[in-house]
Amino acid sequence: MKAAFVGKPGPVEEIRFGELPDPVPALGEVLVDVVVSTVNPVDTFVRNGMWPVPGPWPLVLGRDFVGHVVDAANGFAAGETVWGNSLGHGGRQGAAAERVAVAADRLYRLPAGVDPFDAVAVLHPATTAYLALFTHGGLRAGQTVLVVGGGGNVGTALIELAAAAGARVVATASAADLGHCLSRGADVALDYRRTDLPDGIDLFVDTSGTNDLETAVAHLSFRGRIVLLAGPRSRPVLPAGELYLNDQSVVGFVISRATAAELADAAAALNERFAAGGLRPRVVERVPLAEAADAHGRMERGELHGRRIVLVVRNVADPVDS
Ligand SMILES: NC(=O)c1ccc[n+]([C@@H]2O[C@H](COP(=O)([O-])OP(=O)(O)OC[C@H]3O[C@@H](n4cnc5c(N)ncnc54)[C@H](OP(=O)(O)O)[C@@H]3O)[C@@H](O)[C@H]2O)c1
């Protein structure tokens, strides 16, 4: 099969596009013909060694895919359209390949009628958003969430998932993105250059990586939470007294450490939104799998500005070899 892979961690030049043996599904795994994959920031971290992985080497890159089940196995029927978002790390081979073997508890059915290109583009940001809001942020209906960076991929999904759960959503974004935030369900959208944030924030999530905890704590409610998910090099000042005297908390999380059960919980929520016609990506660019290295380079150099790359592994109309 064709795949985009590296022999060892390194720069973009390490990426090879070529033949690797087809995966052989182990007990509990399902063989899938991949239609589309993606490139996420974290895929560049895995490839360049910033997020160390134990192999196997050569390592196929990529976390996310949508594809079709090859042979009936572990409760999945041949031909079913399925997706996954946790390949290519934790000892698992990646998704940027014509075929993948996926543990059945990390494989989910795509609801009928959902475009695989749209779906694959939002799997990573939307799963991140779900885990931030609910798994780590404890958001409940009626609470207020502040989304910093509502125009971005994670921010857009945060707005939509929080609004769908009955939360009140305040988003900050660039002036050009305020309408977008409102269209995805934000109750209030504020230019991020403004400083007059509302009080009574139950959950504060900053996707920009600014992590201004002095501002966050100043506007947090009693027992409010701050979820940190971006800005690995930020060194914010934390008003500790205000925080603990109001039962508030700060929690960090990274999707790479989510358990299979947490990911399955998120997948069920994503599928509910997909089925309702939601979670559509903003800007998607289709790129052939053979050009995965170029896509990694553009992402690493910060040239994508929120544009989602979809790696086209096979044309949907192409017959699937079996
Ligand atoms: N922890 C995890 O598991 C996890 C998972 C996925 C992603 N992430 C991280 O999450 C971050 C966001 O990812 P993404 O895909 O959503 O990126 P993105 O699409 O580029 O979105 C970032 C958004 O932040 C906005 N922004 C920049 N500075 C801002 C500020 N001071 N205030 C408010 N908004 C501001 C940008 O607006 P402009 O374009 O107008 O500047 C942009 O819309 C990345 O750092 C990524 O690595 C973490």
The domain spanning residue 154 has which CATH number? 3.40.50.720
- Tell me the CA–centroid distance for residue 152 and ligand 1, in Å: 5
Based on the domain organization, do 234 and 286 belong to the same domain? no
Note whether 7 and 110 are same-domain residues.
yes
Q: What is the CA radius of gyration of the chain?
A: 20
Q: What percent of the chain has pLDDT over 70?
A: 98
Query: In this structure, is residue 263 part of a structural domain?
Result: no
> How many CA atoms does the CB half-sphere of 142 hold within 13 Å?
0
Are residues 51 and 256 in contact, defined by beta-carbon separation less than 8 angstroms? yes
**Given the DSSP bridges, would you call strands 220-228 and 249-252 parallel, antiparallel or unpaired?**
parallel
| Element at 178 (helix H, strand E) | helix 178-183
- The pLDDT confidence band at residue 316, using thresholds 50, 70 and 90, is low
Residue ending a domain, choose from 256, 271, 304: 256
The total number of structural domains that make up the chain: 2
How far from the centroid of its chain's Cα atoms is residue 181's Cα?
Answer: 18
Ligand 1 pocket test: which of 192, 195, 207 has the largest number of ligand atoms within 8 Å of its C-beta?
Answer: 207
Domain that holds residue 140: 125-256
Query: Do residues 245 and 214 both lie within one domain?
Result: yes
Residues 130 and 99 in one domain: no
Is residue 322 assigned to a domain?
A: no
137 and 169 both lie in a single domain: yes
The tens digit of pLDDT for each residue in 73-112 reads 999 999 999 999 999 999 999 999 999 999 999 999 999 9
Q: Taking residues 306-317, report their average pLDDT.
A: 88
Pair (79, 164) in one structural domain: no
**Do 163 and 56 share a structural domain?**
no
Residue 321: inside a domain, yes or no?
no
- Whose CA is closest to atom 45 on ligand 1? 230
* Residue 32 near residue 69, CB atoms below 8 Å: yes
CB distance 156 to ligand 1 below 6 Å? no
The DSSP secondary-structure symbol of 131 reads I
Question: Is the C-beta atom of 307 inside 6 A of ligand 1?
Answer: no
Residue 264 in any domain: the answer is: no
Q: How far, in Å, CA of 183 to CA of 143, rounded? A: 20
Q: 74 with 53: CB under 8 angstroms?
A: no
The ligand 1 atom at the shortest distance from the C-alpha of residue 256 is 3
